[in-house]
Amino acid sequence: MRGLKFYTMQKRIITGTLWGLLVLFSFSSCSKDKEVPPAAVNQKINTRLYEYFNEAYLWNTRIPSYSSLNNTLEPVDYFEKLRYLPDDKWSALFRDSEQINQLLANEGQSFGYGLAFGAFSNSNTYFAVITHVYPKSPAAQTGLKRGDLIMALNGAAITDANANDLFYASSLTLTLGKITNNVMDIDRNVSLQASTQYNDPVVATRVLEYDSQKIGYLCYTDYVESSESRLTEVFTGFKEAGVTDVVLDLRYNGGGMATTGVFLSSILAPETALDGQTLFLTESWNDFYNQYFDESNYNRQQYFKADIPVKMNLNRLYILTTGNTASASEATIIGLRPYMEVVTIGTPTHGKYCGAGVIDALDEKDEDLKQWGMMLVVYKFINSEGLTDFKDGLMPTWTVEDDLLNAYPLGDEHDPQLAKAIQLITGNAAPAAASPLLKAPAGVRLLNKDKDFRHPVKKNMISRFPARNE
């Protein structure tokens, strides 16, 4: 075996537009008795990074040779030289490893909104549109809502250099905009103070009734383990209300825990798939790990859960998608498709067909290494029919744009994507969305999956990393 050793104490791993696991690797540590010059610290960090890439990386045969790299570079720069581009859009290095755990748990300081971005074609500046607001968050308390335009932050234009402040700053002053006569203009300023909170990914639910048909609508934004009890509550309510059809809104869901993906998919699947032996997805690692797992009889398959607390027993499911539908969301779509009709409505998904290991500390015993964390793509996921490598995303069954410039509240039957689902379910024309009142001004365009300033950890799927001993 090569240099890494996995402890039997398990942490987590990440996969696909959010399968993930957290991994702990063991290495010999350097002496802490004397100060280490910065170049030597960089060398130690970079050597550890190379060992991870060389053994566990999905594309480990595509990385440069160790001797060809300058291992005294800043670790962030060294990390970028190891990534296999353009295929790997998601591996990432963290200077503060604690941020990973907070992001994966949907906890920590935040303003409590989701954003999509648009661009001004005549400059290198952006604007943002609020896609959803978490209840009781600073954004909600300030009165921000879905569809609000953000034109500037702290009095400055939004650029590549400051856009992440919209997610990670401790406080902000937002300049909101409005469109009048096809011109985007300034409206007002709003001040926000981030708070430490849990953002419940179940952001909207509703039961819609049309004649004898009842449709359950759920907008779900992150596959988080702590949300499983809330999912149980929502679908139990759907069952008690007599819901016969479900619309699952994953337009803004970038992924999360793989186990939660299996949990939700098992709730939705036909009962015939819930025997504990029906394949949901298979993990394909690099050749080194596939061989190791085969020799050690480690099962790389994920199965639908037999002991799920509520069973919708659906034969058909409607899912709303955009370019921000990623990883575990895409795994839900392809994992269910062999066993039921999955009708997708929207635009192509993100195209994250692989998962990443999340290392919360490069070495917990070494002061120079333990502050650094990493998310490393380690496998791709494959459904029971062999579908994987959907680099351009999953094409929708029905193409319907997510018109954020004319956004309806989540769950409103006038929302064009939800309206299409209702039409397909009932066979009748649903309440039609009003003709767009606003059009994007000339030189302005909304971006789909091309620009998302949040950390790539929000485009991953999380699983448990298998223990390995030597």
Q: What is the pLDDT of residues 300-335, one digit of tens each?
A: 999 999 999 999 999 999 999 999 999 999 999 999
Q: Are 122 and 443 in contact (CB under 8 A)?
A: yes
What amino acid occupies position 186? Answer: I
Domain span including residue 369? 10-106+200-438+449-470
pLDDT for res 428: 83
Instruction: Write down the mean pLDDT value for the chain.
Output: 86
Predicted confidence band at 104 (pLDDT cuts at 50, 70, 90)?
Answer: confident
Question: Quick check: 450 pLDDT over 60?
Answer: no
Do 215 and 98 belong together in one domain?
yes
At which of 148, 178, 198 does a domain end?
198
Could you tell me the maximum CA-CA distance found in the chain, to the nearest angstrom? 77
- Cα–Cα nearest to 327, from 253, 274, 277, 398: 253
**DSSP characters over 342-394:** EEEEES------EEEEEES-S-TT-TTTTT-EEEEEEEEEE-TT-----TT-P
Q: How far apart are the first and last CA of the chain?
A: 8
Residue 461's region, left for phi above 0, alpha for psi from -120 to 50, else beta, is beta
Question: Quick check: 54 pLDDT over 60?
Answer: yes
pLDDT for res 99: 77
* 412 inside domain: yes
Residue 15's CATH number: 3.90.226.10
Q: What mean pLDDT is predicted for residues 84-88? A: 93
Question: Quick check: 215 pLDDT over 90?
Answer: yes
* 179 inside domain: yes
Structure tokens at 166: 């919209």
Do 318 and 353 belong together in one domain?
yes
- Cα–Cα nearest to 356, from 52, 23, 97, 16: 16
Do 213 and 71 belong together in one domain?
yes
Do 336 and 378 belong together in one domain?
yes
Q: What mean pLDDT is predicted for residues 173-202? A: 92
The better pLDDT of the pair 3, 403 is held by 403
Do 225 and 184 belong together in one domain?
no
At which of 144, 175, 198 does a domain end?
198
Residue 187's CATH number: 2.30.42.10
Do 332 and 457 belong together in one domain?
yes
At which of 165, 198, 231 does a domain end?
198
Do 267 and 346 belong together in one domain?
yes
Structure tokens at 307: 């002991």
* 248 inside domain: yes
Do 75 and 141 belong together in one domain?
no
The better pLDDT of the pair 99, 151 is held by 151
> Into how many domains does the chain fold?
2
pLDDT for res 454: 62
Predicted confidence band at 394 (pLDDT cuts at 50, 70, 90)?
Answer: very high
